[in-house]
């Protein structure tokens, strides 16, 4: 029996469990993007100056840009080790539909890079003098936005797997597609800080995450097949 | 029907057909652009607010429209190539990308030159259409970079097709999100309820320019597809025979 729901779920969970275990054995894979996020966020006050008004004003934008870059950094290795040790070939010939496995990889990427970013963001936000109420919204927008970024990024990672100079290329492919997420994520937090309504921005981020969830696994699967011909 | 499509899509047949079609695009295109440029620059009255600076729309609007149109053509042919495995469609997508990038650049450059006297600045981040054109340019760059990074043509075709399709899904969303972000650009004057809000003396040259640019774009695309087909088929018999029979 191939392609039935329990088998698909089992395959997906298998991928997630295996990759989480791998990440647990090599914590650097999770921690490096986090350190990168904190450092990029720290660069801005150093460049802009310590004025509290400016920091408060630029906080949402800086945190969002730093989060976007940190997500990109970890995307490059998403399929790399699978490609090198042959696991990817096994996934391609597996009876479990490839989109389910691709979705598993995207979920794994979000768990190991999106979620930690969301959790650490309040700490960085404090240094930007962000009030607690605004920080809550920052976490919600990051939560919704990083889901879309993980899914979109998986497509780019699948397209560039096995290519030389993949990192710069991956950024070039994914950054334009990630603009709507950045715009709505950062602007929504800025609007909260200015005391405006935010429902529209949050709805958009949620709707976009659902839209990307509906097509990204299929695009990622198609890209993986093409990259491994 | 299918037989006809397969015949059309066969490289030798298309190569010859495109050559005979190009004049049908070049001649009307040149006439329309010549009329549009003359009427737009000399005949059309000055705008009562913008003076002579408004005349840049005769290049700006056709370029901006073609920058979007080319992306759609590129994504559609890439999709056709991916689904029905028609190699010619991939060649069309590959040939269209640089043209689209140039039209996008032209739209950005003319928009920026127009912005200097109108807004007092070369670049205005508050303008949604300028910003979404810029993102459009990035999308073209990404597409061309991915193509350039893959040596195998068949693989490059398919990979870039997936990217073009994902991009096509995102183009309206990017447009909308940038729109929401802020607005300073003047509202649409050409396509709106109750007909265009423009004097006919200004409008007709603009329509001529849009149509003329489209014809010239068609000619350019056909020419580039011919070159692309020739390059891809360089090791086949029909290319060798064609070259040998022509003597050079």
Which residues in chain B have their CB less than 8 angstroms from residue A200's CB?
180
Would you say residue B18 lies in a domain?
Answer: no
> Quick one: closest CA in B to A151, which residue?
B166
Which residues lie closer than 8 Å to A159 by C-beta, 6 or more apart? A173, A223, A226, A227, B146, B159, B162, B163
Query: Does residue B19 fall inside a structural domain?
Result: no
* Tokens coding A79: 């399929």
**To which residue do tokens 């075709």 refer?**
B157
CB contact under 8 A, B162 and A155: yes
Q: Which residues share a beta bridge with B47?
A: B51
Residue of B nearest to A184 (CA): B177
Smallest Cα distance from B89 to chain A, Å:
17
Burial class of A7 by CB neighbour count within 10 A (0 to 12, 13 to 18, 19+):
middle
For residue B158, list chain A residues with Cβ-Cβ distance below 8 A: 226
Q: Among A161, A172, A224, which would you mutate to test the B interface (most chain B Cβ atoms within 10 Å of its Cβ)?
A: A172
Closest residue, chain A, to B145 (C-alpha): A169
Report the SS3 class of residue B164: helix
Chain B interface mutation, best of A162, A226, A229, highest count of B Cβ atoms under 10 Å: A226
Residue B32 counted as domain residue: no
Sign of the Cα torsion A153, A64, A191, A124 reads positive
* Average pLDDT value over all residues in chain B: 85
User: Residues B89-93: what's their mean pLDDT?
Assistant: 92
In 3D space, the residue among A143, A148, A111, A113 whose CA is nearest the CA of residue A17 turns out to be: A111
Would an 8 Å CB–CB cutoff place A180 in contact with chain B? yes
Share of chain B above pLDDT 70, in %: 91
Kindly report, residue by residue over A146-187, the tens digit of the pLDDT: 999 999 999 999 999 888 777 788 989 999 999 889 988 888
Q: Could you give the percent of chain B with pLDDT greater than 90?
A: 41
Question: What's the CA gap between A143 and A138, in Å, rounded?
Answer: 8
pLDDT computed for residue B184 by the predictor: 43
For chain A, what is the radius of gyration of the CA atoms? 18
Tokens of A189: 């937090």
At residue B51, what are phi and psi to the nearest 5 degrees?
A: 65, -145
Q: Hey, CA dihedral for B189, B195, B200, B204, is it positive or negative? A: positive
Assigned token pair, A142 = 């990051």
b/e sequence B225-237, b meaning 16+ C-beta within 10 Å: bbebbbebbeeee
User: What sections of A79-198 are H helices per DSSP?
Assistant: 80-85, 87-93, 98-109, 115-127, 132-160, 166-193
B8 vs B11 pLDDT, higher one: B11
**Would you tell me which residues 78-137 of chain A have a C-beta closer than 8 angstroms to some C-beta of chain B?**
none
Range of the domain at A157: 5-227
Give the range of the structural domain holding residue B177, as residue numbers without chain letter.
Answer: 37-246
Asked if the structure places residue B242 within a domain, the reply is yes
CB contact A194 to B (< 8 Å): no
Question: b/e for A115-133, b at 16 or more Cβ within 10 A?
Answer: bbbbebbeebbeebebeee
Residues in chain B within 8 Å Cβ distance of A222: 82, 162
Q: How many domains does chain A have?
A: 1
Cα distances (Å, whole numbers) of residue A124 to A45, A135, A182, A189, B45? 12, 10, 18, 15, 58
Per-residue pLDDT band at B106 (split at 50, 70, 90) = very high
Cα–Cα distance between A59 and A45 in angstroms, integer? Answer: 9
* Chain B environment of A160 (Cβ under 8 Å): 146, 149
Span A69-126, pLDDT tens digits: 999 988 888 888 888 888 888 888 888 889 999 999 999 999 999 999 999 999 999 8
Q: CA Rg, chain B, in Å? A: 20
Q: Residue B55 carries which DSSP code?
A: G
Residue B196 three-state SS: coil
**Of A169, A183, A229, Cβ closest to residue B145:** A169
Q: Which residues 108-147 of B have a C-beta within 8 angstroms of A?
A: 135, 138-139, 141-142, 145-146
Report the distance separating Cα B139 and Cα A165, nearest Å: 19
Q: What is the value of pTM for the model shown?
A: 0.88
ipTM reported for the complex, 2 dp: 0.86
* Tally of domains within chain B: 1
Distance between CA atoms of residues B25 and B226, nearest Å: 15
Is B75 within the bounds of a domain? yes
Chain A interface test: which of B150, B162, B167 (most A C-beta within 10 Å): B162
DSSP state of B190: S
Q: Does B231 touch chain A (CB under 8 A)?
A: no
pLDDT at B136 over 60: yes
pLDDT score at B234: 86
What pLDDT, on the 0 to 100 scale, is given for residue B194? 55
Domain membership of residue B21 (yes or no) is no
Nearest chain A residue to B172 by CA distance is A180
Give the position of tokens 């692309």: B228
- Asked if residue B36 has pLDDT above 60, the reply is yes
How many angstroms separate the Cα of B203 from the Cα of each of A21, A75, B195, B210? 65, 49, 11, 11
A226 to B158: CB separation less than 8 angstroms, yes or no: yes
Kindly state the helix (H) or strand (E) to which residue A23 belongs, with its residue range. Answer: helix A5-25
User: Would the CB atoms of A180 and B158 count as touching at under 8 Å?
Assistant: no
Chain B nearest-CA residue for A187: B181
Q: Is residue B81 part of a domain?
A: yes
Confidence of residue B191 (pLDDT cuts 50, 70, 90): low
B139 closest CB neighbour out of A176, A223, A229? A176
Mean pLDDT of B98-103: 95
Q: What is the end-to-end Cα distance of chain A in Å, rounded?
A: 26
Residue B183 pLDDT more than 60?
A: no
Chain B residue with the nearest C-alpha to that of A216: B166
């Amino acid at each position: 029996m191939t392609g039935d729901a329990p088998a698909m779920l089992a395959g997906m969970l298998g991928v997630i469990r295996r990759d989480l275990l791998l990440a647990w054995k090599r914590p650097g894979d999770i921690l490096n993007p986090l350190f990168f996020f904190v450092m990029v966020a720290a660069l801005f006050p150093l460049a802009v100056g310590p004025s509290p008004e400016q920091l408060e004003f630029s906080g949402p934008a800086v945190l969002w840009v730093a989060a976007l870059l940190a997500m990109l950094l970890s995307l490059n290795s998403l399929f790399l080790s699978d490609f090198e040790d042959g696991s990817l070939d096994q996934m391609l010939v597996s009876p479990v539909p490839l989109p389910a496995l691709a979705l598993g990889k995207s979920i794994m990427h979000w768990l190991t890079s999106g979620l930690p970013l969301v959790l650490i963001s309040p700490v960085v936000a404090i240094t930007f003098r962000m009030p607690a109420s605004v920080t809550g919204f920052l976490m919600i927008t990051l939560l919704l936005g990083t889901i879309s970024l993980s899914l979109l990024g998986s497509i780019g990672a699948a397209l560039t797997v096995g290519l030389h100079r993949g990192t710069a290329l991956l950024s070039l492919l994914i950054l334009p597609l990630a603009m709507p997420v950045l715009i709505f994520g950062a602007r929504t937090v800025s609007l909260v800080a200015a005391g405006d309504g935010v429902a529209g921005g949050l709805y958009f981020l949620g709707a976009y995450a659902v839209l990307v969830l509906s097509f990204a696994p299929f695009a990622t699967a198609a890209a993986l097949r093409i990259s491994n011909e | 029907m299918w037989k006809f499509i397969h015949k059309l899509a066969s490289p030798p047949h298309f190569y010859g057909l495109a050559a005979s079609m190009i004049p049908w695009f070049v001649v009307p295109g040149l006439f329309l652009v010549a009329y549009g440029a003359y009427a737009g620059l000399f005949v059309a009255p000055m705008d009562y607010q913008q003076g002579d600076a408004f005349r840049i729309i005769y290049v700006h609007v056709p370029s901006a429209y073609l920058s979007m149109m080319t992306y759609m053509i590129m994504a559609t042919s890439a999709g056709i190539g991916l689904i029905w495995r028609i190699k010619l469609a991939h060649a069309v997508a590959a040939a269209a990308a640089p043209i689209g990038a140039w039209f996008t650049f032209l739209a950005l450059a003319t928009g920026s030159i127009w912005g200097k006297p109108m807004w007092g600045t070369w670049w205005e981040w508050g303008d949604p259409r300028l910003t979404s054109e810029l993102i459009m340019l990035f999308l073209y760059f990404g597409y061309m970079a991915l193509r350039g990074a893959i040596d195998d043509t068949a693989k490059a075709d398919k990979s870039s097709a997936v990217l073009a399709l994902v991009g096509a899904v995102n183009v309206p969303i990017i447009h909308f999100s940038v729109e929401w972000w802020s607005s300073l650009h003047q509202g649409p004057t050409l396509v709106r309820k109750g007909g265009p809000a423009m004097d006919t003396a200004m409008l007709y040259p603009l329509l001529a320019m849009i149509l003329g640019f489209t014809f010239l774009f068609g000619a350019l695309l056909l020419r580039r597809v011919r070159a692309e087909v020739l390059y891809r088929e360089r090791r086949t018999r029909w290319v060798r025979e064609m070259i040998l029979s022509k003597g050079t």
